[in-house]
Structure 1
């Protein structure tokens, strides 16, 4: 059974960072001739996804968010361990 999990600010940053890392793969996916096989389920959503992924303004917005959240992202990554980490944040 699936349940909805509360999304945190940090997880949104991690997701956007990964989204940026796979940008080229996503773009290749939506311009591929095989994209028509995926979009048969919901044509409207597929069109919206394709437009968003191919929209350079969207990627510029992601870059803008990273420009002022880079230090926050690095702190989240350093603190993502199962042992004491306060001294890492202080450094």
Structure 2
């Protein structure tokens, strides 16, 4: 069984620490950060690697993969914000 997801945050992923500051605005960043999942803005049929990495087990797809013992193969953790507040602050 596979989970439909991107494996690594793309160069334009809003969850990357080097994303454009203020890009999303505080309100939209808060909505996205609090969402249980988020699709990739480039591949809308796949789950966003950045959201899964940043939210960890708070992301519904990460939890589902864990329940079924599926390795998502996520890479690029060092590129992504460590927590949702840093993400929101960056985009505010």
* Same fold at TM > 0.5: no
Which has more radius of gyration? 1
TM norm structure 2: 0.31
TM norm structure 1: 0.32
